[in-house]
Amino acid sequence: MEDMPSPCYKSLSGNYTFLTNPFLFYTSIESNSTRCTTYVVPANSGGHGPPDDNLVNALGSTSTASNYMWLTPNLCDNMHNCSISQGDNYLSKLVPLILNSYIFKTQKAALFITFDEGYGRYPTDYVYTVWAGPVVKSHYQSSTQYSHYSLPSTIEASWGLQPLTAKDRGSSSMTEFFPPPSSSPPPLGANFTFSPAYPDSGMEVNFSAIATGGTQPYQYVWTFGDGGASTGQTVGHPYLIAGNYNANLSVSDEAGQKASTYQAIRVDDSNPSPVKPSPRLENAVFPRTPGLVISFVIGVAIPLAGSLIVSRKRRRSGERGGTSTELIENTFEGVQRYNRWQLSGIRKVVCMKLRR
């Protein structure tokens, strides 16, 4: 309170009057000396300092500025007992100090200036009112008619507070003077596909990036695990040497978000060395129906149904056309023999993992 001699001063003093100090009319404040000393204090030093220096100094730090700060000028600066030019001169000095303070430069702060009365009565009485600050629309005017109860209604709407009385509950809030809150873009995500899924050495692999969320446009950067790199959403890259590689994709968006992902790629040799069949199985006869699936993931051979039967026919001496059959059933030796025979001359075995 400007020119107030001491906290919660309840009388008249120069251009100060308690009648313009609304907090003295709340018994929970007026009868509590601690709250008075802390919250209802002079706006200027000794009641006669520069334009409300205590208020301006409090706006210099988040530790000294309250979330809600009220200022009532004295009876001269509020133009009640003095000229309009006196009030204009007062505001021309004070308002720039407020808007250039640390709080208004770094925080979501708003300045609300209004008059308590005009020359008539509501709803035909109109008073000058303005919002200013970094969170307020510039050069914005409204045709909606508001009352003084619209101020607490606006604060309650902004801070999620319950109404104090039925008056502010039934009054429109002035949220139209503030831009709608900007929603943060969804998190940026990165993924990609490539084909063929099982490339051979020397074959070009085609990569296609998929970006989700964030703010367009996107930037795509690739590394392929063999020293190669590229940019763009869709790229091609040949792997010249067989082996295992990690293809990496990094995506960045307009807002500076970044996301990355990678996938493992196995490149087979396009000219594998031939594998000679085992001489011990040159005369072997195998069943036409496949009896097992070979999985390189776990390195074992798993019979699909029944037992693995490898039959080997040979003539016995002294027998003319008859044959005898030797059976090898479920033996690791039999699996090894079948494995060597089955893989000779076969370059690739595809294993499928099924979901339950």
pLDDT at 186: 86
Q: Do 60 and 25 have their domain in common?
A: yes
Burial class (CB in 10 A: 0-12, 13-18, 19+), 165: exposed
Distinct helix (H) and strand (E) counts, the chain: 8, 16
pLDDT at 115: 93
pLDDT at 276: 56
pLDDT at 321: 44
Q: Kindly provide the b/e burial profile for residues 228-266, where b requires at least 16 CB atoms within 10 angstroms of the residue's own CB.
A: eeeeebebebebeebeebebbbbbbbeeebebeeeeebe
pLDDT at 188: 93
Q: Do 216 and 296 have their domain in common?
A: no
pLDDT at 280: 53
CA distance 265 to 311: 40
* Encoded tokens for 274: 């031939």
Q: Do 225 and 96 have their domain in common?
A: no
* Residue that has been written with the tokens 């295992």 in this structure: 244
Tell whether 337 is covered by a domain. Answer: yes
How many residues in total does the chain contain? 356
Tell whether 349 is covered by a domain. Answer: no
Three-state secondary structure call for residue 144: coil
Alpha carbon 261 to its chain centroid, in Å, reads 18
Residues 6 or more apart whose CB falls under 8 angstroms from that of 229 comprise: 221, 222, 223
> Which of 267, 302, 334 is the last residue before a domain boundary?
267
pLDDT at 275: 55
- Nearest 5°: CA angle at 252, between 237 and 234? 25
Name the strand (E) or helix (H) holding 279: none
Name the strand (E) or helix (H) holding 313: strand 309-314
Quickly count: other Cβ atoms within 10 Å of residue 274's Cβ: 8
Q: Do 21 and 76 have their domain in common?
A: yes
Residues 6 or more apart whose CB falls under 8 angstroms from that of 275 comprise: 340, 343, 344, 345
* Structural domain harbouring 299: 279-343
> Which of 223, 241, 267 is the last residue before a domain boundary?
267
Residues of the chain short of pLDDT 70, as ranges, are 49, 272-356
CA distance 267 to 33: 81
pTM summary value:
0.54
Three-state secondary structure call for residue 334: helix
Q: Do 164 and 263 have their domain in common?
A: no
